[in-house]
Amino acid sequence: MVSAFHSWNTMIYDVDRLRSKKILISGGLGFIGSNLARRLVDLGSVVSIVDSLIPEYGGNLTNIVDIQDRVKVNVSDVRDEHSFKYLIQGQDYLFNLAGQTSHLDSMRSPYIDLDINCRAQLSILESCRHYNPDIRIIFTSTRQIYGKPDYLPVDENHLLRPVDVNGINKMAGEWYHILYNNVYGIPAVALRLINTYGPGMRIKDARQTFLGTWIRNLVEGIPFEVWGGDQLRDYNYIDDVVDALLVAATSDQATGKVFNLGGHEIISLKDTAQLLVQVNGSGEYTLCEFPADRRKIDIGDYYSDYSLIHRVLGWHPYTCLAVGFRKTIDFYRKNINQYL
């Protein structure tokens, strides 16, 4: 990956608060974690990555091949309390990105999801409380915890009504962070991410986002399926999400708060597919009925109101879909074999 992929918005955060700082990224070999690591080493941070490298999850050593000499990698799982007790010591920041993100996996194996998204989060926070209470923690939550929206766009005042085990456990995990901030003074902030895409995203399957398989099929020249089609969505390009993580990390006004991210283009699934085909120059998709077992958890239209983080921290998404999709497709044209 080269810096041409970057569309940084460093104006909004204080680079001095990151330079030479010790930073731990859980899930750091995943899509978002590795892009964050790349940005941070370029800004002069001392980056350590911890990742379980579980094949079904997002971690992939290819993601850091260009920065492997500039980061320290520790393979361990967030459920391993012992390694985290050691790893968090001396760190200035923890970007706590590791998690189980698959809806289907959470319904099939609810205890695994519970152990990763609840128990491990508690144990990370307990480690910070006992061994490094001054560490700043940035937690990645998800818009999925809102469930089927009552109104659009969905702001942070919307009730949380998760529609799967994963959503419930992520909701709890988010709140543990806010609680430890409020009660123990461990500075923590949570961002509720929407569909994030870009170079490094998981395309092997739909465990992270349906966009992954769409892009894979496009690049491989295979038609892809669009379930439904009229549902409205928003998306964030990876560089915008990295911006948000860094502004949340470096702003005192973020502490103890929960912020939505969100996209500035609201687009139907069908039009998303159409745009991808157009950017790619070719490709086919078929519109299908929503499968019966998924219909129960279909949330219909969804897009986020990100005015709070804009107002408080100055963040807004920067990359338009046509540009982001082009960068992503170009990346997978070159690198698809490392992601299958």
Q: Where on the chain is the footprint of its own copies (CB under 8 A)?
A: 107, 110-111, 114, 118-119, 122-123, 126, 157, 159-165, 168-169, 171-172, 175-176, 178-179, 182-183, 296-297
Residue 156 half-sphere exposure, CB side, CA atoms within 13 Å? 15
> Whole-angstrom Cα distance, residue 258 to residue 247?
13
Find the shortest distance in angstroms from Cβ 259 to its own copies: 15
DSSP 3-state assignment of 92? coil
- 31 touches 66 (CB < 8 A): no
Give the nearer residue to its own copies in terms of CB position, either 53 or 163: 163
Q: What is the largest CA-CA distance in the chain?
A: 55
> Whole-angstrom Cα distance, residue 207 to residue 29?
16
- 174 touches 190 (CB < 8 A): yes
Give the nearer residue to its own copies in terms of CB position, either 111 or 290: 111
Give the nearer residue to its own copies in terms of CB position, either 115 or 240: 115
Find the shortest distance in angstroms from Cβ 183 to its own copies: 5
> Whole-angstrom Cα distance, residue 175 to residue 134?
19
Give the nearer residue to its own copies in terms of CB position, either 277 or 297: 297
Give the nearer residue to its own copies in terms of CB position, either 147 or 324: 147
Give the nearer residue to its own copies in terms of CB position, either 94 or 172: 172
Dump the DSSP string for 137-173: EEEEEEGGGG-S-SSSSB-TTSPP--SSHHHHHHHHH
Find the shortest distance in angstroms from Cβ 60 to its own copies: 30
Chain centroid, CA 87 distance in Å:
22
> Whole-angstrom Cα distance, residue 190 to residue 245?
9
Give the nearer residue to its own copies in terms of CB position, either 69 or 293: 293
Token pair recorded at residue 302: 């969804």
Find the shortest distance in angstroms from Cβ 319 to its own copies: 31
Find the shortest distance in angstroms from Cβ 191 to its own copies: 17
